[in-house]
Amino acid sequence: MSTPVAVITGASSGIGEALAKVYAARGFQTVLLARRLDRTQTLAQSLSPMGLALAADVTCDSDLHEACATTLEKYGRVDTVVANAGFGVSGLVEKLTIADYQKQFETNVYGVLRTFYAFKDALKQSRGRFAIIGSVNGYIA
């Protein structure tokens, strides 16, 4: 059996970074997706040879489709995708704008869907798994 492959969005820091370390330690080729390529490249180097950093914004369909194609080209499979990218808007409501909330929704909701649609065929092929990381802040809202 070939080495399993995990793809993690929002892998440049926090939970995504921690997940990348766990997957690599468990023998997965670990593909790190984030907008900040410099941070994911540093992480990928620390996971070498198990890490690969790719620039991808979950609000951009073409970034995600390209990341999937690159992953399949390099490893031939995708076994796990973790939709982890997200952020919270905070502050006084009167100081925030609708655009602030739209950006959050675009990333935290539509970003998960975009990630799923970009990788669904590869996951079907491998009978893989799709995981979504959420936040306790959803209970507060």
Q: What are phi and psi of 15, to 5 degrees?
A: -60, -40
> Distance between CA atoms of 34 and 66, rounded to whole angstroms?
13
pLDDT at 141: 45
Exposure of 42 by Cβ count < 10 A (0-12 exposed, 13-18 middle, 19+ buried)? middle
| Averaged pLDDT of the chain | 94
Q: pLDDT exceeding 90 applies to what percent of the chain?
A: 89
> Distance between CA atoms of 49 and 103, rounded to whole angstroms?
35
pTM: 0.92
Q: What is the DSSP code (8-state) at residue 34?
A: E
Residue 90: pLDDT band (50, 70, 90) is confident
Residue 136: pLDDT band (50, 70, 90) is low
Per residue in 29-83, pLDDT (tens digit) is: 999 999 989 999 999 999 999 999 999 999 999 999 999 999 999 999 999 999 9
Whether omega before 4 lies within 30 degrees of 0, making that bond cis, reads no
138 vs 104, higher pLDDT: 104
Residue 134: pLDDT band (50, 70, 90) is confident
Domains, in order of start, for the chain = 5-135 (3.40.50.720)
Cα-based angle 108, 109, 113 (whole degrees, multiple of 5): 120
